[in-house]
Amino acid sequence: MSSKKGTSASWSRRKFLKAGALGAGAAGLILPDVVSAGTATNQEVNCILLFLVGGPSHLDTFDMKPNAPENVRGPFRPAPTSVPGMQISEHLPRTASLAKYFSIVRSVHHTAAPIHETGHQLMQTGSLFTEGRESPHFGSALSYLRGPRDRDVPPFVVVPGPIRSTGVSVSHGQTAGPLGERFGPMFYDVAVENSASPRSGSETDCMVQEDRERPVEARRFESLTSMTTRRAFDLRRESEATRSRYGLHTFGQSTLLARRLVEHGVRFVTVNMFDTVFDRLTWDCHADGATLATTLDDYATTLCPMFDQTYSALLEDLHQRGMLSNTLVLAFGEFGRTPVINARGGRDHWTGAWSVLFAGGGLRGGQVIGATDAWGGEIKDRPVQPANIAATVYRSLGIDPNVIPTTTGRVMACAAAEPIIELF
């Protein structure tokens, strides 16, 4: 198997940094003349994006290869789901029971540098940022075109905070780009220190906390004095049972908050599962014994169970509340992991193939779309690129991504690709 998409990417990293630096002082994008923005019929679909920062191993979660050699298939066994013929990791049992609600796209790939930042940009905007040109996050485009659903709540929120350092100091794709700072996300932290007793402690123990150290491009939302806003952001209004069901950890409580925010009128919420990949357990399982020490054992004991609990709770909760049909739920990372386990027992970066989950928002569940080869390293059927992901998101939200008007009186194309039509 070719190793062209592995982690020996110093040339690609330099090229990426050089491209990002070119034209950094440019006034804006060069875009074609204005045309009217086209939209689909459904303008009421909201979105929750669970961004699995670090890049989960598809081979150990949603694209198992039990017949591959041991150093490829890894230590985990595939397990059946509630959909006949669909199998996922044995460490995702709750997710497996809800397979009818989501579809797995197993053939996502890109050819850009195999570093976190390219994936962050591509997967949240549909394009790679070059020559100082950025594209807007899905949530910013939605915010710009639709505005707030309720004047007391922001249209686009990121919790529990922005992605910080993942190795290269460039944009992670969570801004409004040429649409302007006004349409960027509001960032909020979730305090979970006393989450075992959510109604005890001080007034702010279980409230969402605004981070006072956000980057300058982060837009602030000031009207927390309104009753609607305070109610939306107050996790103490949830029962202890509900909070426990989502998981008494930052990812679980942030995802519960995402449901509350959508319920109260926020159009798009991104939940960053982690804000960095260094010096903590994340999906970035290099097993290097230093700052990137996560191993596949950590997948089994911590990461998969955490995701399994939170993702399943979210789907069940949205379904029970009648919200799943008009709430698109995305779950993905920035790339996959190397087919061959490295000498330390981990897996490295791999952009040649990985899996993405789609649920709700009027999309069809219970499907597996696309396929990888016997080792999970290359696409065998139905290739899907990040631009196709973006086009699918925009179509579900009722937006034509090819004619988004900007504040300069021009338009931009945010997803120059076809949507994944099998999902509709």
pLDDT at 192: 66
Rounded to the nearest integer, the mean pLDDT of the chain is 84
Alpha helices by DSSP H, listed for 283-385, are 296-298, 304-320
Mean pLDDT value across residues 142-167: 93
Q: How far apart are CA 141 and CA 399, in angstroms?
A: 9
Q: Choose between 223 and 370: higher pLDDT.
A: 370
198 Cβ contact partners less than 8 Å away, ≥ 6 residues apart: 206, 235, 236, 238, 240, 243
Written as one letter, the residue type at 176 is A
pLDDT value of residue 198: 26
> pLDDT, tens digit, for every residue of 363-372?
999 999 999 9
Q: Once rounded to an integer, what is the mean pLDDT over residues 203-215?
A: 34
The answer to whether residues 156 and 268 touch, using CB atoms and an 8 Å cutoff, is yes
Q: How far apart are CA 137 and CA 135, in angstroms?
A: 7
pLDDT digits (tens, 9 = 90+) for 171-203: 999 999 988 899 999 998 886 643 322 222 222
Task: Give the 3-state secondary structure of residue 259.
Answer: helix
What pTM did the predictor assign?
A: 0.86
Query: What are the DSSP calls for 90-123, one per residue?
Result: TT-HHHHHTGGGEEEEEEE---S-SSHHHHHHHH
**How many residues are listed for the chain in this entry?**
424
